[in-house]
Amino acid sequence: MRTKSILSEAKQIERAVTLIQLGARLQVLESETDLSYERLLRLYKEVAGKSPSKGQLPFSTDWFMTWQPNIHASLFLNIHEYLNKAVELDDIDLVIKAYRLYLEQVRSQGLEPQLSITRAWRLVKFIDNGMLSMTRCSKCGGHFVTHPHEIAKHFVCGLCNPPARAGKGKSGGLQVH
Ligand SMILES: [Zn+2]
């Protein structure tokens, strides 16, 4: 049992460090590891080289509904859903893996990531508790983050129907399927 608990702790620390490196807020670490607040705080300062930012986590689903964030959130969630079916991982490790792939994909297209790891983590929670959902676009067939009970027959995604002010090219090339 002793060996097991040491291994488990090592894993928790590794997870926490990874999350800090990806820019996660302290609340994410508190929620996803069993490490004490004091240890997490110390770890955070050591890894990030600064104190964690204070203040509330973003709790609203609104951000995910705005145009560009919605495309980024949808891309992340598609990767997450795919991995969820393909590999056996703990929930938080799945978020980490999907988030890394999201970053890779966005950066490979010369775009700035819009979705933080903290928001990606919250997004999965919103999906799990039914506050947000995924709906298939009636035009392109891609799956996008929407409010629950969106009527699929009439749903058109932000890529097929960008707002006039969005112009062209900004999200260009991002494929969400
Ligand atoms: Zn579409």
In which region does residue 154 sit, left (phi positive, over 0), alpha (psi from -120 to 50) or beta (all else)? alpha
Enumerate residues with CB within 5 Å of ligand 1 (an ion): 137, 139-140, 157, 160
**Cα–ligand 1 centroid distance for 152 (angstroms):** 11
Q: pLDDT digits over 70-115, tens only?
A: 999 999 999 999 999 999 999 999 999 999 999 999 999 999 999 9
Torsion of the alpha carbons at 18, 22, 28 and 34, rounded to the nearest 10: 10
- Specify whether the CB–CB gap between 129 and 113 falls below 8 A: no
Q: pLDDT digits over 24-41, tens only?
A: 999 999 999 999 999 999
Domain positions in the chain are 6-48, 62-154
Sign of the alpha-carbon dihedral angle for 34, 9, 93, 56: positive
The class that CATH gives domain 62-154 is: mainly alpha
**Cα–ligand 1 centroid distance for 162 (angstroms):** 10
| Whether the predicted model's global pTM rises above the 0.85 cut | yes
Burial class (CB in 10 A: 0-12, 13-18, 19+), 124: buried
